[in-house]
A and B are shown apart, each in its own frame.
Chain A
Amino acid sequence: MDFDLSEEQRLLKDSVERLMLESYGFDERGKYRSEHMGFSEAMWARYAELGLLALPFSEEYGGFGGGAVEAMIVMEAFGKALILEPYFATVVLAGGILRHGASEAQKTELIPAIAAGRMKLAFAYAEPQSRYDLFDIETQARKDGDGWILNGTKGLVLHGAVADKIIVSVRTAGRSRDKDGIALFLVDGNVPGLVRRGYSTQDGLWAAEMTLNNVRVKADNVIGNPADAYPVIARVADEAIAALCAEAIGCFAAMQTITLDYLKTRKQFGATLGSFQVLQHRAVDMFIELEQSCSMAMYATMMARENGTMERERAISAAKAQIGESARLIGTQSIQLHGGVGMTMEYRIGHYFKHITMIDTLFGDADYHLHRLAVLGSIIRENA
């Protein structure tokens, strides 16, 4: 048992945190958001310089071979700063699909471009009817010569409108909720027949709805087995959840700090708010949730790369359920403890509240994951 970071991991943590401290204050974030893409291209280039975009990929493709702990370190720091750039979409989601599913040729072509900051990707996994079931896919792929033709609708594609390429989950066989007969295709953002409708999300990030109308894809743009890609999707989703848990605890920690600062400085009735016991105890409730969430984010990080599917899924569901519950408590209490100023867009705390609330809706909310855990068995009783 060891909760410490290695020397290299500490250096990584220091350098990401320093970058965030220097360049990602609340005011700067506001400016980045009003840029053309809705985030900062300059920051994206900085991430590339620091090697963050290459982090999880293996050395042979120009990556750094970073594991789950490195992903946790970066996502936690990004959560604290509430970054806008498509790191999660490009590196965690699409990057995960490439790592687990792509061919040598595909990796050799794409990973160096991602690492250098030249290419942004998105992963279109959801559809309007699918809610949190990643296998619920109606978008169809039909064989056409040695290529494929895709038709259907994908929804809630994170950073889908700005992505250079999009990985799309599609059905090649079976019925709409079968786990078999699912394929992954790599599609160019400007391919004929693809219509992207971009929009802002509640928390100030970006997503898109997409329709695919007879989109032609060449055979070499199939990722993995075109009849059996679901295991790759499930695996990447579990890694993505671990990353979201890390991002969330970054947010929680920032919210705790901001709220404590406020309690220590704001005065009413001639005393600081922090001197009132009822408010102290609420701050303690937030702190307890933060610590419990940190524990579960670590657990998710350790288990995300487990090969035993059942054990991994149980752990990941438990972590996401904890994070979702904590998000509700920490989010609502931090607003309440701020009073009126917590309600305003010009103050930081509410932006965090909105982001952690949206994290709960990604890849299954607390309720969904409690249900999944209940179906999968027990994380407490051995051999259950």
Chain B
Amino acid sequence: MDLGFTEDELAFRDEVRAFFRAAVPADIREKLLAGAHPSKDDMVRWTRILAAKGWGVPHWPAEYGGTGWSPVKQYIYVEEMSQTPAPAPLPFGVNMVGPVIYTFGNEDQKKRFLPRILTLEDWWCQGFSEPGAGSDLASVKTRAVRDGDHYIVNGQKTWTTLAQFADWIFCLVRTDPAAKKQQGISFLLIDMRSCGITVRPIQTLDGGYEVNEVFFDDVRVPVENRVGEENRGWDYAKFLLGNERFNIAGVGISKERICRIMDLASRVRFGGERLIDQADFRKKVAAVEVRLKALEITQLRVLANESKRQKGTQDPASSILKIKGAEIQQATSELLMNVVGPYALPYQSEEDFERRNEPPIGPDWAATIAPAYFNMRKVSIYGGSDEIQKNIIAKVVLGL
């Protein structure tokens, strides 16, 4: 038993770390340190830097641009990227639809879509959730009716993250309303420029615009844009949802936040001493650190098991990673609220902040903290809520 990385893995970590430190444009890194969101242009710039290095999609098969790294190295790569911090590549392409296309798509689809995902020429978004299909995803109602060599799509998707920037959307649509609910679903790739698509932004608690509603009104989608077989879409969706393994816990993200908390707490003075020197504050940070360390090792245990598991099956223990990862990310956002104290109060949107000529209200790092705290509530809701994850563990692991 040995919890340390091997010599080779440590050398790899140093190489990756050095690359990220040198390669992330300074303005993007500053933005992330401040807890702000990268713009579309930031994402494109960063994705192309990674692609040029050949590191855009390490987890893909080599023939489509993967690096052939071991699971541990892929994990190190993701960790180092979050700790730099650098933007995580847009997941909808590289982690979601990309693997579905190279696993279940035909040759034309692979040639057409995969290279453009790598360079973010196509910005993808995810059309899964609907007003009536949240946790109960299989009850999607958006209809696709065959009309010659097209499907006519009608319905509505929601919580569609960053759809305002998207060129393409991958959708679960109902192609057989008579079948049992999981069995009448197909997986369609839809051009966002198609006639009949309307995107309506939804403002979230942080004041930002991350998610959208997407409406489909007689949208014509060529049949060649269906991935795999008709009515087998649920299988592809399950594959997609089970694919998120290296980043589900967000260990690197939380580590970066802990460092940020300590940096800021050493700048803030309260009651005549630095916040970081106050025993009760340090103890609160220590309590989160303990949970984070445990999560990191649990994550490594899941990874170590991966080589023993059947390919393409997910370790149900990864539900633990999702639940605990969310809890800890939320806890770091709470600690930042402790750090900022009363100057959490002024609302200054990110747009205001960038355009403004006058100095910010309060400390220049304060504006994003309360919004991030509000925004972080999402992590225990999206991607299978805590309660759904617990249902999975209860059924699959505990046999209840």
Contacts and interface: CB of A to CB of B under 8 A. Distances in A.
Interface string B366-400: 00000000000000000000010011011001111
B1 A4 contact: yes
Contacts of A280: 390-391, 394, 398, 400
A190 B6 CA distance: 52
Given A277-B391, A291-B317, A381-B262, A374 B298 contact: no
A318 B297 contact: no
B399 A260 contact: yes
A283 interface: yes
Interface string A189-202: 00000000000000
B323 interface: yes
A329 B291 CA distance: 14
A26 interface: no
A296 B297 contact: yes
A321 B9 CA distance: 30
A380 B293 contact: yes
A299 B293 contact: yes
A69 B1 contact: yes
Given A260-B400, A380-B259, A1 B294 contact: no
B302 to A, nearest CB: 9
A371 B293 contact: no
A327 to B, nearest CB: 14
A322 interface: yes
A378 B324 contact: no
B3 interface: yes
Contact of B287 (A4, A274, A277, A370): A370
A373 B289 contact: yes
A288 B292 CA distance: 13
A375 interface: yes
B290 A321 contact: yes
A263 B400 contact: yes
Interface residues of B, number: 44
B301 interface: yes
Dominant SS among interface residues on chain B: helix
B293 to A, nearest CB: 5
Interface string A232-270: 000000000000000000000000000010011000000
B287 A283 contact: no
B72 interface: yes
A355 to B, nearest CB: 22
B400 A378 contact: no
A292 B287 contact: no
Interface stretch (B47-55, B187-195, B278-286): B278-286
Interface string A286-308: 01100111111011011000000
Given A1-B72, A3-B300, A373-B289, 15 more contacts: A1-B2, A260-B400, A264-B399, A281-B387, A284-B394, A284-B398, A291-B320, A296-B294, A321-B287, A322-B291, A373-B290, A374-B285, A378-B285, A378-B286, A380-B293
What 6 A-B pairs are tightest by C-beta distance, nearest first? A295-B297, A374-B282, A280-B394, A274-B400, A292-B294, A374-B286
Interface of A: 1-5, 9, 69, 260, 263-264, 274-275, 277, 279-281, 283-285, 287-288, 291-296, 298-299, 301-302, 318, 321-322, 325, 370-371, 373-375, 378-381, 384
Interface of B: 1-6, 9, 72, 255, 258-259, 262, 279, 282-283, 285-287, 289-298, 300-301, 304, 317, 320, 323-324, 387, 390-391, 393-394, 397-400
